Chain A
Amino acid sequence: MPYTKDQAKKKRDEEDKDDTKIIGFFCNWCTSTAADLAGTTRKEYPASIRPIRVMCTGTVDPVYVLDALVKGADGVWVSGCDLGECHYVNGNYKARRRIGIIKTILDVLGLDSGRVYLTWISASEGPQFAAWAKRITEEIAKKGRNPLADKLTT
């Protein structure tokens, strides 16, 4: 059985609750490899990033972005191959549109679309991945904790 909201909250309170938590949707081909490379070459980046590997950013359903924010993630970072480099040819173009739409929807709902990032990071760009991770963590930390956290019940 999954944790209930109370259990989850208790767990978070136990841990360092001020730590920013960012859910990352990284494509299997480019960005996951870059993330890996960052680690292999010891380019440090904050531990706030919780990566979820997907086959292509084109498969990231806008609902996942919303779900992540509703469940209390402070930010969502979708990253895939450079435009023109998608293993599936144009999956990332579709992601670009979809994330664009969800950001608009977030703003319409009065939520902060600035908490959602979309980047294109190529497989060799380990240092760039680390740099983006740092930047995104800093910017989101400045915004403070996600106001939705603990508010909604599952």
Chain B
Amino acid sequence: MKKGVLIIGSGVGGLKASLEVASRGRQVYLIDRSPFFGGEIVKIERQFPTNRCSLCQMLPTTNRAEEGEYCLRRDFYHPLIELIPGAELTAFSGDEGNVKALVRTKARGVQEELCTGCQRCIEVCPKEVADEFNCFGTRKAVSWRAPQPIPPIPAVDWEACTRCGKCVEICPTGAIDLQMADAERELQVRSVILAPGFDEFDPSILTQYGHGRWKNVVTSIEWERMVSPLGPFGERMKRPSDGKVPEKAAFLLCVGSREHRWDFCSAACCMYAVKEALLAKELQGDLEVTIFYMDLRAFGKGYERYLEQAKAKGVRFVRGRIPRLWEDPQTRNLILSTFEDGHVVKEEFDLCVLATGQRPPRGSAELAGILGADLNEWGFCKTVDPAGVATTRPGVYVCGSFSEPKDIPDTVTQATACALKALGRERKKIPRPLGEGERVPDEEPRIGVMICQCNGEVSRGVDVEKLRGAVSGRPGVSAVCEVAALCVQDQAKGVLGEMRKQAVNRLLICACSPYWFRRRFLENAVATDPWLIEWVDLREGVIHAHGHKGVQQKAEAMVRMAIERLRRKDSIPARFASVKGSALVVGGGLAGLTATSALADRGVEVHLVEQEAELGGVLKAMPDKVEFLAEYVKGIEGNALVQVYLNSEVTEFRGQAGDFWALIKGADGEREVGVGTVVLATGAEEYHPKAFLYGKNKRVITQRELKKGLVSGAVHLEKIRSVVMIQCVGSRDTEHPWCSRFCCTEALENALVLKSKNPELEIFVLFKDMMTYGFKERLYSRARDAGIIFFRYEDREEIRVQGTDRLQVVSPEAKLDCDLLVLSTGVIPNRENQSLAELFELELTKDGFFKEAEVKFRPVDALREGIYLCGGAHSPRTWQEVIQQGEAAAQRALVLLEQERLLAPHVVSQVHERRCSGCGLCVEACSYGARIFDEEHMVAVVKEALCQGCGVCTSLCPNGAAFLQGYTEDQIMAMIEHAV
């Protein structure tokens, strides 16, 4: 078994990286110093820009395991991911490919194999401490982080524990061991991915905001908990001081960011403040929200529209950093001063939320020290490769906010690129067991029912004897057993032995919620096909959920229903789909070149199709990227695995993931190719300005032309005394409601170059919001320090440019004479996107870029399986971000390409061919493209390996020809009958 990867940190980045590595058949050791997994995302129920949670979309879409199909906040499973909670790295040595890591696991105090999750220890614990998860209120010394955490075993907080032993006494299985010792473990891995996340900045040191003194001043995470359904106050939207429902709330942005001590931007705060405001308004329609900001950094995909949505819903935006707050001691309201029409006014709010920035997490400096990864001046991890994932130590990669504060889509993309790099260039074909799965011959169902007593928990509410009586003798049931605690290995083995003696061929388990121990049980019940094991939740689903009335009846009904379903289940032989191990990359710009390079380096045959006569896309026009581009192109042209088609286009395309067919038409003929995956990297177009005398006066140029001009000498600096730059030309307006993301950075870089060449040069920048997110903020500070003058404008339409030779730029804010006017133009979607979307059967967003499967958790996947998006085709971004995306797309493609065969999961859609009338409704309805129409036989066919098992096709088939394995009409109707 080739060496796996150690991943440190189980937040969004760590989870995503683990799933990516495991999906490529490699072992993952996922450690987190907390006894519970999930990181900060567990505190945040909903995320921008969808204002919904979609964490579960990160789960693999191919080779799905039924045991792994659960809400990712409550459960996390993959057969190749080993979770090591409460663990920290203590030593590290070796080189990439051969690393020895020493991991120290803090004693949990509770033995996982014995805990039944009854929560009695938590109930009796006498010691309360501050609850750092829910931010307000307390938790016990032995507790868990949130209801149903991962893993679902309480942990002892050794600092708080008084060693009174009450929990030890009450525990029915003796799972608590207050003498438990820490453990050490050596792991041999090929590389490490650092994903320790961030700590929220603690604003109490900014005493002017009163956090920690004034109750109604809260941080953003505190706010998240306050409005969570599982929050600390029982009900949502109550303010801390008096439980009153707030009517007027203020959000203060940039708390702990963008100042001389912390000269960086935390990137996500503008957006999450808007999200919090919108979600609060959803909860309480008449809540007035005001967001006080410096620059509204809505630079991501879809963010500008999101902002417009917020404005339309009545969220008030007021520009101006609030220097301080006052508290009214009577009402506990907060008062601040702001500007209105040039006057200072005071405003009063019930509640004030500080949009706190991100910091490197506590202990991360030591961790980086152990790993030998260098940090920057603020303690964030430095990266040394263009994609921004490699640290200064070979073999150690980083993703998430620890490398730079960032939001979720960027974290997920970075984590995906990390997985690619962490696995190196090993070529691996992930084998599948040959032959069929063990098939139970078509015998009469003989169900063995196992009723778990949960150490007496179950009999608190259910009369087990009666239940047993109601179940035995039912058709299909051949044995009924009781067991004290099924989650205890010995007991499970014992009862399974009993079942086997009675020639049972299906198992029905009546125990706790499947989130708890279903998997542990499956691991013990090795000899039985997990498909033929049904689980009834008697504990969380019946006993803990209801009072006394109707409990017995319901328990019996649930068991009856489960029996009916299980009786109608048959063993399913394994079915496979083949995968063509080659890829089609459409577009030979930076994104396409990156993806091609990444794939070809890992043994994948790539067909690279480029419309123009040369590779390079927009990079060709960048004078400072000439060498960089040349290197890339050389590598690709020299690689025997890459077939480059210049002056070519894809004109026809069809098929499914693993088996696509494309027709490439070029100047010298046509070529058919069969590939497994497609990477769409068709780029975006540069916007050509139509205003500001561009094209009419030669002194008006774009940033790109400026760069070229400086290198070529076309721009004569000696003759220029003043320069004006106008930002957002062709972006963030009604025709182009998106931010092009790189233009502010590009402008500042150019401005600083100009200033360095001639410090006497006057430079004025007219901007709307300065999008220098993350560490780019430094550019902005440096620019201001260098004497570059910034003027904010409100409406670009109000800026006029006049003059025949020398120019005059006039706006309500300023009147500027200049020798050179530089327009910061962004990008617009490629004009071919519509026809490309039709060709590849993809969707476009409202803005005209390609639509991804899910903006946060599946950022580079198209919804159609097997097609990946990167670069300008996806959305505007900086060149480093394009590289990172290209690598992420390659990683996603490899997950499919490295499979020898794709295994069809059990819960898949099927077709009763004789009932199928060939109407094609189901084919259209499938969002994933997993159904095709067989023209020859006039029936629908399911591509099982791609089917996600949602069953939507089944309910729309007019003839009942579509059914979902495991959820057939037969089964469901039998369940309905026995439920009543």
Residues of A at the B interface (CB closer than 8 Å) are: 1-3, 8, 12, 15-16, 19, 21, 23, 28-30, 33, 35-48, 50-52, 54-56, 58-64, 67-68, 71-73, 82, 84-85, 87-91, 94, 98, 122-128, 130, 149
Contact = CB atoms under 8 A, between A and B. Distances in A.
A45 B546 CA distance: 5
The A interface is mostly helix, strand or loop, or mixed, namely loop
Contact of B230 (A47, A126, A130): A126
Contacts of B544: 39-40, 42
Given A15-B553, A39-B539, A59 B230 contact: no
The CB with the most chain B CB atoms within 10 A, among A35, A45, A52, is that of A52
Given A47-B550, A55-B907, A128-B229, A35 B967 contact: no
B967 A73 contact: no
A103 to B, nearest CB: 15
A21 to B, nearest CB: 5
Contacts of A39: 513, 537, 539-545
Given A30-B71, A45-B546, A89-B853, A50 B964 contact: no
Contacts of A2: 475, 564, 974, 977-978
B921 to A, nearest CB: 12
Given A46-B546, A47-B554, A55-B964, 20 more contacts: A8-B977, A23-B976, A28-B70, A39-B545, A40-B544, A41-B230, A47-B550, A50-B980, A51-B558, A56-B950, A67-B973, A68-B980, A85-B53, A85-B54, A89-B853, A91-B952, A94-B955, A122-B52, A123-B73, A124-B53
A122 to B, nearest CB: 7
B549 A46 contact: yes
Interface residues of B, number: 67
Given A2-B974, A28-B69, A46-B546, A91 B950 contact: yes
Contacts of B551: 47
The CB with the most chain A CB atoms within 10 A, among B70, B925, B927, B950, is that of B950
Given A55-B951, A59-B950, A87 B57 contact: yes
Interface in B654-677: none
Nearest to B975: A52
Contacts of B475: 1-2
A98 B925 CA distance: 14
B549 A47 contact: yes
A66 to B, nearest CB: 10
B976 A68 contact: yes
Nearest to B475: A1
A94 B972 contact: no
A30 B52 CA distance: 12
A48 B553 CA distance: 9
A60 B537 CA distance: 22
Contacts of A52: 561, 972, 975-976, 979
B55 to A, nearest CB: 9
Contacts of B973: 64, 67
Nearest to B979: A50
Contacts of A30: 71
Contacts of A33: 70-71, 73-74, 515
B362 to A, nearest CB: 26
Given A33-B74, A36-B148, A87-B56, A61 B980 contact: no
Contacts of B578: none
B329 interface: no
B230 A54 contact: no
A84 B52 contact: yes
A84 B279 CA distance: 14
A94 B926 CA distance: 11
A45 to B, nearest CB: 6
Contacts of B73: 33, 123-124
Contacts of A46: 546, 549-550
B542 A47 contact: yes
Contacts of B284: none
A36 B540 contact: yes
B954 interface: yes
